[in-house]
Amino acid sequence: MNITWYHKHFKNLTTTELYQILQLRNEVFIVEQNCPFQDLDDKDFKCYHLIGFDTNSQKVMAYTRIVPAGISYDEASIGRVVTSPLARRKGIGKQLMKNSIELLEELYGGISIKIGAQLYLKKYYESFDFQQIEEVYLEDGIEHILMIRK
């Protein structure tokens, strides 16, 4: 797998990129996690999108939505964190979060980052210096926690 990382604002995404992003989000968040929810929430229009593209398969293998402050939370955020089942256990998820944090800092400076994380990924996000700030809550039937990185 040969991953190339790049980011674009929503208005600059090609239709093929947008299709592949939505296809990956649907595959993992709705089908794999068996969680019917409204993925398209009007936030995509205002965000940057970090893409991990496999140049061999010509497919999006990893993705995050980089959310400016004031849209999901008072702080900037990283959302819709997803890796393809084909790309797991290869270190791509760690690259994805590292690149997402670096992109947020590049775009907005050294600011706090707030995320709504699935509870089972708490230790993963803690490895990137996120700390839990609230109790467990249910979102779309899945346990989540709010976390912040200062």
15-60 tens-digit pLDDT: 999 999 999 999 999 999 988 888 999 999 999 999 999 999 999 9
pLDDT at 76: 97
Report DSSP letters for 132-145, one per residue. Answer: E-S--EEETTEEEE
What pTM did the predictor assign? 0.94
> For the residues 66-83, what does the mean pLDDT come to?
97
Q: Is pLDDT of 110 > 90?
A: no
Exposed (0-12), middle (13-18) or buried (19+): which is 34, by Cβ within 10 Å?
exposed
**SS3 of residue 138 by DSSP:** strand
Q: Where are the chain's structural domains?
A: 3-110
Burial state string for 82-118 with b = 16 or more CB within 10 A and e = fewer than 16 = bbbeebeeeebbebbbebbbebbeeeeeeeebbbbbb
**CATH architecture group of domain 3-110:** 3-Layer(aba) Sandwich (3.40)
